[in-house]
Chains A and B, each alone.
Chain A
Amino acid sequence: GAVVSQHPSWVICKSGTSVKIECRSLDFQATTMFWYRQFPKQSLMLMATSNEGSKATYEQGVEKDKFLINHASLTLSTLTVTSAHPEDSSFYICSARAAYSNQPQHFGDGTRLSIL
């Protein structure tokens, strides 16, 4: 149980393109979804926390207009990197949690984004 599916797993695109990444909880309802970014040889950096039906809470230093997050249903959250540039190239990974409690997060497999 507790499967999270993230797509696509790898994206290569030209500078200026907008890229959408989907995160789906397949067998549970995700009250909260998290989006992380990992820079080379560093840990997971929390970008934003989103609760179903409300606006995402962005961490300090993360541009909300650049990284659009939508959590329209209890099983789907999307991250759109708008007008991506080479510095946006990174590994992005989502996670989902069933309830506001001590439940662990369940992670997707991540998306490797390469902007040329």
Chain B
Amino acid sequence: ILNVEQSPQSLHVQEGDSTNFTCSFPSSNFYALHWYRWETAKSPEALFVMTLNGDEKKKGRISATLNTKEGYSYLYIKGSQPEDSATYLCAPNTGNQFYFGTGTSLTVIP
């Protein structure tokens, strides 16, 4: 079992603010890092899959970076909107096993 930590646990921001949160994971036996968005009453939705150290992925206002040597990934949201409110989960996988972090619950206040 991998020890995956996400911080902060929860976050409240005003609409239009930019925000970021962290996923920390053991750097050994790393294969890929996945980010998911989980909205209430829906199933988790895949955002990014990153594999290479220094990788940066972007999808609209959301982007993510990866540091495999030190074992962390940042997720950034630029100009947060109410529809961004969700729990953001990261999951490193070692081969065919995924271990989810506790998630960061984001609430964007209109």
Rounded to whole Å, the gap between the CB of B103 and the closest CB of chain A is: 5
Is B43 within 8 A of A46, CB to CB?
A: no
Contact B89 A106 (CB under 8 A): no
The answer to whether B89 and A43 touch across the interface, beta carbons within 8 angstroms, is yes
Residues in B whose Cβ lies below 8 Å from that of A92:
none
In the assembled complex, the Cα of A29 lies from the Cα of B34 at a distance in Å of: 20
Instruction: Give chain A interface residues in 41-58, CB to chain B under 8 Å.
Output: 42-46, 49, 51, 57
How many whole Å from B23's CB to the nearest CB in chain A?
12
B93 closest partner in A (C-beta): A102
Q: How far is the CA of A95 from the CA of B36 in the complex (A)?
A: 12
Size of the chain B interface, CB-CB below 8 angstroms: 22
Residues 96-110 of B, flagged 1 when their CB comes within 8 A of A and 0 if not, give 111111110000000
Taking the nearest CB of chain A, how far is it from the CB of B78, in angstroms?
A: 22
In the assembled complex, the CB of A81 is this many whole angstroms from the nearest CB of chain B, namely 20
- Alpha-carbon gap, A83 to B97, bound state (A): 28
In the complex, A103→B50 CA distance in Å?
10
| Interface contact B102-A102, CB-CB below 8 Å | no
Contact at B49–A46, with CB atoms within 8 Å?
A: no
Inside 8 A of B98's CB, which chain A residues have their CB? Answer: 34, 46, 105
Q: Which residue on chain B has the smallest CB distance to residue A100?
A: B96
Distance to closest chain B CB from A18 (angstroms) = 25
B-chain residues with CB within 8 Å of residue A45 when the two chains form the complex: 100
Identify 14 new A-B residue pairs, CB closer than 8 A, beyond the known A46-B98, A93-B43.
A43-B89, A43-B103, A44-B100, A45-B100, A46-B1, A46-B97, A57-B97, A60-B1, A95-B44, A100-B96, A102-B31, A104-B34, A105-B44, A107-B45
Q: Can you list 19 A-B pairs with a CB-CB distance of less than 8 A?
A: A4-B43, A36-B100, A42-B102, A43-B100, A43-B101, A43-B103, A44-B44, A46-B1, A46-B100, A49-B96, A59-B1, A60-B1, A102-B32, A105-B44, A105-B98, A106-B46, A107-B44, A109-B43, A110-B43
